[in-house]
């Protein structure tokens, strides 16, 4: 048919009342679903294969050489496999969370401008960020979920509860890194800065935040630097859970420190996004 008539308003208009931040964030569900649909396949394989490869190569292969009683004592009486499994989980989550907070965010602001378009609708900046962080939390749940199942197969998860708590902690670690990096992405003019984030942030943190060896092995300055990183706290917290050495005081410190990064990053993200997108 060619006689296209303009659409007529058959139903009531969209409600004129104010919708809360959560409500506005939920309206973005379908958008994030489309994002997930077009990216999950690429990441599903790697999020399953990567931990398997790392655990086999480093935990089983390399760990086989570590039978020195002195070394095992320094690892807290754990086998090397037991030692690095939680570390790898935390570090993998960190790495993925940072990735999700860089290029896709810059695309929304600058390349594809999806975020700019959203703000032409009732969506507001805090709701936009809440939805984005919700999506990142979901991504971290799937990545950590697969990882935990794989480590459980290696016999490294003591109980279902430890696994579930580990999942929760993984989301916390992910968001503690995602929110400040999203805030940064809201400031950067181009993606050149991301190379620095990965080389000077992600890589050193991945290697030196206690995932693969105790930070006490490091020279004092770097040891203290490691304590400042949110990842070290995440690694320690995860390790407490998988090795059944949970200690309330330290667990609270680690959780609190991660929450501090999360909240600060969130607050900064609202600031940088508002300045960038509402000008």
Partner 1 sequence: MVVSRFVPGRKRVGPGIESLTVTFGDRGALIRARGLVKRYGDFEAVRGIDLDVPSGEAFGFLGPNGAGKSSAMRMIACVSPTSSGELTVLGLDPLADGSAIRARIGVCPQEDQLDVELTVRENLTVYGRYFGLSRAECRSRADELLDFVQLTDKANAKVESLSGGMKRRLTIARSLINQPDLLLLDEPTTGLDPQARHLLWDKLFRLRQQGVTLVLTTHYMDEAEQLCDRLVVMNDGRIVAEGSPTALIAQYSTREVTELRFGVGHHEQLGGKVADLAERIEVLPDRLLLYTDDGERATSEVAARGLRPDSVLVRRSTLEDVFLRLTGRSLVD
- Where along the sequence are the contacts to partner 1 (CB under 8 A)? 1, 4-19, 23-24, 27-31, 34, 38, 112-114, 116-124, 278-279
Question: 62: exposed, middle or buried (C-beta count within 10 Å: 0-12, 13-18, 19+)?
Answer: middle
Q: Which among 44, 173, 149 is positioned nearest to 97, based on CA atoms?
A: 173
> What minimum distance in Å lies between the beta carbon of 195 and partner 1?
23
Closer CB to partner 1, 126 or 145, in the complex = 126
Rg (CA), the chain: 21
C-beta of 20 vs 69, nearer to partner 1: 20
Q: Decide: 154 and 244 in contact? Cβ < 8 Å.
A: no
Locate 201 and state its tokens: 């942030």
Least separation in angstroms between residue 208's CB and partner 1 is: 36
* Pick 26 or 246: Cβ nearer partner 1: 26
Give the nearest distance from C-beta 1 to partner 1 in angstroms: 8
- Contact between residue 63 and residue 79 where contact means Cβ atoms under 8 Å apart: yes
What's the min distance (Å) between Cβ of 43 and partner 1?
Answer: 16
Calpha distance 279→273 (Å, rounded): 10
For residue 90, the minimal CB distance to partner 1 (Å) is 31
Q: Which is nearer to partner 1, 121 or 217 (CB)?
A: 121
| Minimum gap (Å) between residue 40 Cβ and partner 1 | 14
Q: Which of 254, 261, 260, 262 is nearest to 235 (CA)?
A: 254
User: Please, which residue, 29 or 222, has the CB nearer to partner 1?
Assistant: 29
Residue for token pair 């000008």: 279
**Shortest distance (Å) from residue 277 CB to partner 1:** 8
Tell me the three state secondary structure of residue 211: coil
134 or 204: whose CB is closer to partner 1? 134
**The two three-digit tokens of residue 209, written as one number:** 């935040």
- DSSP character for 11? S
How far is it, in rounded angstroms, from Cα 13 to Cα 241? 51
Task: For partner 1, give the closer residue by CB, 14 or 160.
Answer: 14
């Amino acid at each position: 048919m060619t006689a296209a008539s303009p659409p007529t308003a058959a139903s009531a208009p969209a409600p004129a009342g104010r919708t809360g931040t959560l409500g506005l964030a939920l309206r973005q569900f379908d958008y994030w679903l489309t994002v997930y649909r077009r990216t999950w396949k690429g990441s599903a394989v790697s999020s399953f294969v990567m931990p398997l490869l790392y655990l086999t190569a480093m935990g089983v292969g390399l760990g086989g050489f570590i039978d020195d009683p002195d070394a095992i004592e320094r690892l807290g009486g754990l086998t090397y496999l037991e030692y690095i499994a939680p570390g790898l989980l935390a570090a993998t989550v960190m790495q993925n969370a940072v990735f999700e907070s860089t290029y896709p965010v810059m695309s929304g602001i600058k390349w594809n401008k999806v975020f700019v378009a959203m703000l032409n609708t009732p969506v507001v900046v805090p709701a936009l960020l809440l939805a984005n962080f919700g999506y990142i939390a979901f991504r971290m749940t799937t990545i950590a979920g697969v990882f935990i199942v794989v480590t459980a197969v290696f016999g490294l998860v003591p109980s279902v509860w430890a696994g579930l708590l580990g999942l929760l902690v993984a989301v916390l670690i992910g968001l503690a890194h995602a929110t400040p990096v999203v805030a940064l992405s809201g400031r950067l003019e181009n993606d050149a800065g991301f190379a620095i984030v990965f080389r000077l942030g992600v890589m050193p943190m991945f290697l030196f935040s206690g995932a693969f060896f105790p930070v006490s092995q490091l020279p004092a300055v770097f040891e203290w630097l490691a304590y400042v990183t949110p990842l070290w706290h995440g690694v320690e917290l995860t390790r407490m859970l998988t090795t059944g050495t949970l200690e309330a005081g330290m667990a609270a410190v680690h959780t609190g420190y991660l929450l501090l990064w999360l909240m600060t990053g969130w607050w900064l993200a609202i600031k940088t996004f508002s300045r960038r997108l509402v000008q």
